[in-house]
Structure 1
Amino acid sequence: MAATHGDEFKRDAVRNALTSGLTRRQVASDLWVGLSTLGKWIRAISDEAKVPDRDADLLRENEPGRHH
């Protein structure tokens, strides 16, 4: 059975993914959620919040397949 995470958990996960300096993969692993799940949360919450340009840049930098 899949785990159900509350909105606060999801917001915290997205905040960590955007500001911690870790990759999405690292954040997802630390939180025991799938990478694709974290990506869905980031897209959903970013769309709701109309992500500032600086955070949108961070989102793009952390996309799978992008190397720094």
Structure 2
Amino acid sequence: MRHGRVRHPAGRPSPPRSGIARFVFGEDDTTLGVVLNEDPAEVALACQVRDAAWHHATRTTDFAKAVASTG
């Protein structure tokens, strides 16, 4: 399955598609697959969750300074 922009017969690119991917894990934490969803309501909710989490994000360099190295 191809995602992203596709060309219409007239040669004009279509607008980009939005979607979310959810990983499915088994009881033993192995990846069983991925579920793709392009439902506009679920994509909007996922974007809201991402934006809320991003507000609390820490830069990698700042996190590395705050956590003792294991290596």
Q: Is the pair's TM-score, using the shorter chain for normalization, greater than 0.5? A: no
- Taking structure 1 as the reference length, the TM-score comes to 0.30
Greater percentage in strand: 2
Bigger radius of gyration among the two: 2
